[in-house]
């Protein structure tokens, strides 16, 4: 095949390529039996660079066809050598980059051959060479095109192939990408996108993240987020993927927090609020998730500056409106909740313009009137967006409530009434269970209300006055994850002697006995809590077991640790039903009984004995429990001995 034939076929290939006809490209190759030999001969004859350039261009055009790539793999040995040949012209280098990139596109066997013949270090070196040429000369379209093609070639070689990525990183790829990206104001959008694609490919593998994290690439990449409007959507997406991958690296979140990422993410989210494009919303969701993740990390929170905090809060205040999507309002609430873990940030949340606490309560109140919750399809599981928003709002309010002074300010804003009101929508029908999606919401509600009830009797009365809330508390016995929170709230309410009679009456009407019986069938902390609660409501409260500390491992260690009311109510209750007595004695007769369960169980038996039908207790109790009570009079714990001796008088 002579030069004219070669050029003729090249013309046909270029036309077929321009018309995007890979089948025609493949047919031209396979219909010419001399083609393969001509390509080999053309690659071997380096004395005629014009023919060599045409030959390599033919390979590049053929490489666009998936059917041809396998047949072209033997060419990679020669192409790898050309990458380090500095005597070749810019046009030949341009075609070499194209040929290598096209053969290796989604072709791991071709990538493996290139790696085995040492082509990857040559490729990284060649890209670096043309970068230096580009940087040292006046801006040139041709030079920019060369850099774009070379970076595209790199992307095709390393995409999803860890051995090739390792070889490229070893050859200095990370520094190379950093050097190119450092020229960001002068980069055309297409080149910038390719560079971010290469970075995103590398951060997909954990081994490369530490080196990237310690480079300047994080700061450089923010350009695509801060000026997203002037760049293709792909650039922003690659940048977000890159930063998200780095966020799961050890020490990654604080680095991101100190690199200006927070402000850049806010720019992406804010831009999406005024855009009608679906792609913008998708990008915003990625940015929102990353923003929440950064601020949820305590080390990150400690390095966020006052200026950044004010910027975040101002943006979050804008997102806490009914017109915003539910997911954006959820992000705002989560961001505020994370910042509220810092006392100085809490103060600013109340002071900054935008009335953030009022907006949090306003959104929560609006959700209280919804009977039906919006469930979004199309994900692994249906997602209850309204429940997510409720949880985020309650989380923010809970964190804002750690300081007693701020908690009182929220009380003055009507916060307790709003939180009590939402219990109506959370309460399931009698024949239904609490929805799975609402369990975290109920848990957060009960925890937060307990913090408020601990303030004073007036606030506790607000909390305990709504029958629907009390019903929700008792229904929580059906869910293991909620029982401890429910008992904790009832213990605080029952600690106020003035509230105890009405609370006892309301609870007994709606299932207190069933609640206590259910709790006695659970583990030790729930058993202790239920027994202390029963004694508090029915006559005797014992503080020695510290039930709230047992039941609430997430309790804030602040200045609210003392009991509100340590007294006892000496009212004599009516006779309890046999089911409660059976559940109680079953607990006490277990093989290994926790001392706190034993003590509070004996106290409850004493409470029963003091009732108007207490004289029949000896008849009701089984022989085993009577024997146990008498044995316990010699127990090592003085309190248990004393309780057993008192109880023995009724037997």
Structure confidence by residue, pLDDT tens digits, 546-575? 434 334 333 443 333 223 233 333 343 444
pLDDT given for residue 617 in this prediction:
63
Q: Which residue has the higher pLDDT, 63 or 651?
A: 63
The pLDDT assigned to 562 comes to 29
Binned at pLDDT 50, 70 and 90, residue 333 comes out as very high
pLDDT range class, residue 14, cuts 50, 70, 90: low
Would you say residue 310 has pLDDT above 70?
yes
Q: Is residue 236 within 8 Å of residue 228, measured between CB atoms?
A: yes
Q: Residue 610: phi, psi to the nearest 5?
A: -80, -5
pLDDT of res. 442: 96
The arithmetic mean of pLDDT across residues 84-102, rounded, is: 94
Q: Does position 204 have pLDDT exceeding 50, yes or no?
A: yes
Confidence of residue 499 (pLDDT cuts 50, 70, 90): very high
Is residue 585 predicted with pLDDT exceeding 90? no
- Region for residue 433 given its phi and psi (left: phi exceeds 0; alpha: psi -120 to 50; beta: otherwise): beta
Report pLDDT for 531: 92
Cβ(501)–Cβ(510) under 8 Å?
no
What pLDDT is stored for residue 12 in this prediction? 67
pLDDT of residue 565: 32
pLDDT at 559: 37
Structure tokens at 181: 């990206």
Render 180-234 in DSSP notation, one character per residue: HHTTGGG--HHHHHHHHHHHHHHHTSGGGHHHHHTSSHHHHHTHHHHTGGGS-HH
Predicted local distance difference test score (pLDDT) of residue 80: 97
Q: What percent of the chain has pLDDT over 70?
A: 82
The three-state DSSP-derived secondary structure of 390-415 is HHHHHHHHHHHCCCHHHHHHHHHCCH
Q: CB of 39 within 8 A of CB of 55?
A: yes
Here the tokens at position 417 are 């009434």
Looking at 478-594, list the stretches that DSSP marks H as alpha helix, in order from N- to C-terminal side. 480-494, 500-509, 512-520, 524-538, 547-551, 578-588
Per-residue pLDDT band for 607 (boundaries 50, 70, 90) equals confident
Average pLDDT, the chain: 83
Q: If DSSP codes are grouped into helix, strand and coil, which group holds residue 69?
A: helix
| Predicted confidence (pLDDT) per residue in 424-459, tens digit | 889 988 888 898 989 999 999 999 999 999 999 999
Q: Which residues contact 176 (CB under 8 A, 6 or more apart)?
A: 124, 127, 128, 131
Strand partners, 383: 376
Comparing CA positions, the residue from 473, 374, 356, 357 lying closest to residue 412 is 357
* Degrees, nearest 5: CA angle 597-600-603: 145
And the tokens for 2? 């002579």
Chain centroid to CA 57: 48
Q: How far apart are CA 446 and CA 473, in angstroms?
A: 8
CA distance 443 to 84: 65
Is the pLDDT at 648 greater than 70? The verdict is yes
The whole-number pLDDT of residue 376 equals 61
Predicted local confidence at residue 353, as pLDDT: 67
Instruction: Please state, for a pLDDT cut of 90, what percent of the chain lies above it.
Output: 43
CA 162 to each of CA 115, 199, 461: distance values in angstroms, whole numbers, following the listed order: 11, 13, 63
Nearest alpha carbon to residue 388 among 440, 351, 341: 440
Residue 508 in tokens: 């007994």
Q: Kindly state the helix (H) or strand (E) to which residue 383 belongs, with its residue range.
A: strand 383-384
Other C-beta atoms closer than 10 Å to the C-beta of 620 total 15
> How confident is residue 85, by pLDDT bands cut at 50, 70 and 90?
very high
Predicted confidence at residue 167, as pLDDT, reads 97
Q: What does the pLDDT read at residue 439?
A: 94
φ, ψ for residue 382, nearest 5 deg: -55, 140
pLDDT in tens, 62-74: 888 888 899 899 9
Q: What is the mean pLDDT of residues 587-611?
A: 86
pLDDT of residue 548: 41
183 pLDDT band (50/70/90 cuts)?
A: confident
Q: Which pLDDT score, from 0 to 100, does residue 547 have? A: 39
pLDDT tens digit sequence for 516-537: 999 998 989 999 999 999 888 8
pLDDT band at 543; cut points 50, 70, 90: very low
CA nearest neighbour of 560 among 453, 411, 409: 453
Which of 546, 549, 529 has the alpha carbon at shortest distance from 537?
529
Residue 81 confidence (pLDDT) above 90? yes
Does pLDDT of 222 surpass 60? yes
Helix axes 90-104, 141-158, angle to 10 degrees: 30
- Cβ count within 10 A of residue 227: 15
CB atoms within 10 A of CB 622: 12
539: pLDDT strictly greater than 80: no
Give the pLDDT confidence score for residue 89 in this predicted structure: 92
Give residue 490's pLDDT. 95
pLDDT at 45 over 90: no
**Residue 3 pLDDT:** 56
Contact 540, 568 (CB under 8 A): yes
Q: Say what the pLDDT of residue 592 is.
A: 87
Q: 569 versus 499: which is more confidently predicted?
A: 499
What residues does 376 pair with on adjacent strands? 383
């Amino acid at each position: 095949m002579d030069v004219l034939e070669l050029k003729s076929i090249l013309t046909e290939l270029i036309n077929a390529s321009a018309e995007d006809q890979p089948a025609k490209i493949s047919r031209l190759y396979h219909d010419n039996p001399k083609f393969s030999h001509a390509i080999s001969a053309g690659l071997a004859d380096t004395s005629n660079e014009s023919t060599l350039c045409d030959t390599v261009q033919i390979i590049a055009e053929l490489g666009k066809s998936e059917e041809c790539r396998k047949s072209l793999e033997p060419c990679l040995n020669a192409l790898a050598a050309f990458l380090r040949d500095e005597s070749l012209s810019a046009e030949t280098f341009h075609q070499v980059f194209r040929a290598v990139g096209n053969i290796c596109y989604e072709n791991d066997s071709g990538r493996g051959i290139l790696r085995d013949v040492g082509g990857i270090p040559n490729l990284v070196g060649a890209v670096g060479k043309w970068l230096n040429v580009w940087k040292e000369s006046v801006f040139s379209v041709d030079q920019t095109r060369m850099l774009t093609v070379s970076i595209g070639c790199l992307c095709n070689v390393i995409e999803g192939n860890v051995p090739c990525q390792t070889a490229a990183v070893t050859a200095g790829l990370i520094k190379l990408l950093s050097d190119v990206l450092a020229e960001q104001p002068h980069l055309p959008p297409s080149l910038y996108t390719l560079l971010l694609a290469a970075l995103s490919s590398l951060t997909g593998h954990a081994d490369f993240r530490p080196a990237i994290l310690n480079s300047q690439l994080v700061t450089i990449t923010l350009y695509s987020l801060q000026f997203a409007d002037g760049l293709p959507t792909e650039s922003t997406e690659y940048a977000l993927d890159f930063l998200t991958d780095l966020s799961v690296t050890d020490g990654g979140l604080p680095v991101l927090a100190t690199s200006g990422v927070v402000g850049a993410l806010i720019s992406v989210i804010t831009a999406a609020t005024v855009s009608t494009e679906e792609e913008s919303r998708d990008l915003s969701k990625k940015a929102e998730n990353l923003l929440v993740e950064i601020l949820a990390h305590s080390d990150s929170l400690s390095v966020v500056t006052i200026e950044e905090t004010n910027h975040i809060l101002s943006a979050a205040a804008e997102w806490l409106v009914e017109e915003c999507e539910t997911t954006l309002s959820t992000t705002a609430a989560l961001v505020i909740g994370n910042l509220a873990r810092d006392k100085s940030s809490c103060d600013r949340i109340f002071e900054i313009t935008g009335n953030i606490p009022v907006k949090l309560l306003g959104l929560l109140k609006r959700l209280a009137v919804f009977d039906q919750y919006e469930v979004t399809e199309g994900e692994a599981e249906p997602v209850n967006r309204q429940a997510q928003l409720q949880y985020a709002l309650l989380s923010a309010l809970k964190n804002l409530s750690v300081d007693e002074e701020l908690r009182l300010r929220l009380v003055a804003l009507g916060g307790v009434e709003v939180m009590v009101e939402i219990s109506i929508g959370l309460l399931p029908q009698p024949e239904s269970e609490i929805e799975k999606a609402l369990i975290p919401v109920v848990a957060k509600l009960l925890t937060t209300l307990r913090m408020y009830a601990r303030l004073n009797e007036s606030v506790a009365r607000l909390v305990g006055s709504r029958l629907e809330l009390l019903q929700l508390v008792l229904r929580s016995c059906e869910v293991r994850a909620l029982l401890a929170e429910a008992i904790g709230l009832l213990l605080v309410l029952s600690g106020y002697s003035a509230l105890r009679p009405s609370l006892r009456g309301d609870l007994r009407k709606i299932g207190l006995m069933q609640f206590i019986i259910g709790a006695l069938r659970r583990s030790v902390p729930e058993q202790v809590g239920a027994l202390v609660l029963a004694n508090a409501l029915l006559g005797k409260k014992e503080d020695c077991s510290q039930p709230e500390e047992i039941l609430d491992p997430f309790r804030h260690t602040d200045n609210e640790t003392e009991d509100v009311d340590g007294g006892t109510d000496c009212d004599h209750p009516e006779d309890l039903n046999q089911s409660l007595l059976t559940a109680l004695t079953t607990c006490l007769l277990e093989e290994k009984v926790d001392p706190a369960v034993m003590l509070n169980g004996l106290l409850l038996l004493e409470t029963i004995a003091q009732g108007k039908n207490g004289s029949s207790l000896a008849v009701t109790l089984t022989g085993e429990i009577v024997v146990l009570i008498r044995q316990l009079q010699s127990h090592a714990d003085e309190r248990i001995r004393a309780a057993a001796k008192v109880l023995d008088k009724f037997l």
